[in-house]
Amino acid sequence: MPFVLDASAVLEAAFDDESGAVGKAVVDRLAGDTAYVPSIWFSEVVHALVQAVRRDRLSIDGAHATLAALADCPIVAVPDHRETRALLDVAHRTGLSAYDASYLLIAVDMGLELATCDRQLRAVAERAGVSCL
């Protein structure tokens, strides 16, 4: 079943020292399910990989390998959210960043489960009736 994929969840799967239940579930789900992400997702993932390389947690080859593996996954970028006012309102009302609010809005609008390791996003999503991995 399709789901919304927060960058935090795919990054948990990418780093061996962080591979928890959500990361493992994401790896399993990406084997056959489509993941929907906001357009900012790609930049978020690359930024985290750059930071990991700079902190010697990952080699540049490892970062490239992660991106290559993700390129083979069924990940679909949802164009910028239909209405920026809704994004602003949700971010303001919930205390989420605009980036995290975009994951929530996609999950709500599409009626999909959300894969995230972000505790605040998870709590807000669950309060909004969104099921989380």
Average pLDDT taken over every residue of the chain: 92
Q: What is the pLDDT of residues 15-51, one digit of tens each?
A: 866 668 888 899 899 999 999 999 999 999 999 999 9
Q: Would you say residue 51 lies in a domain?
A: yes
> Is residue 132 domain-resident?
no
Quick check: is 118 in a domain?
yes
**Domain-located, residue 133:** no
Say if 63 falls within a structural domain: yes
Q: Which stretches of the chain drop beneath a pLDDT of 50?
A: none
Domain that holds residue 69: 3-127
What is the CATH classification number for the domain harbouring 70? 3.40.50.1010
Q: How is the chain classified by DSSP, letter by letter?
A: --EEE-HHHHHHHH-GGG--HHHHHHHHHHTTS-EEEETTHHHHHHHHHHHHHHTTSS-HHHHHHHHHHHHTS-EEEEPS-S-HHHHHHHHHHH---HHHHHHHHHHHHHT-EEE---HHHHHHHHHTT--B-
pTM: 0.92
Domain count of the fold of the chain = 1
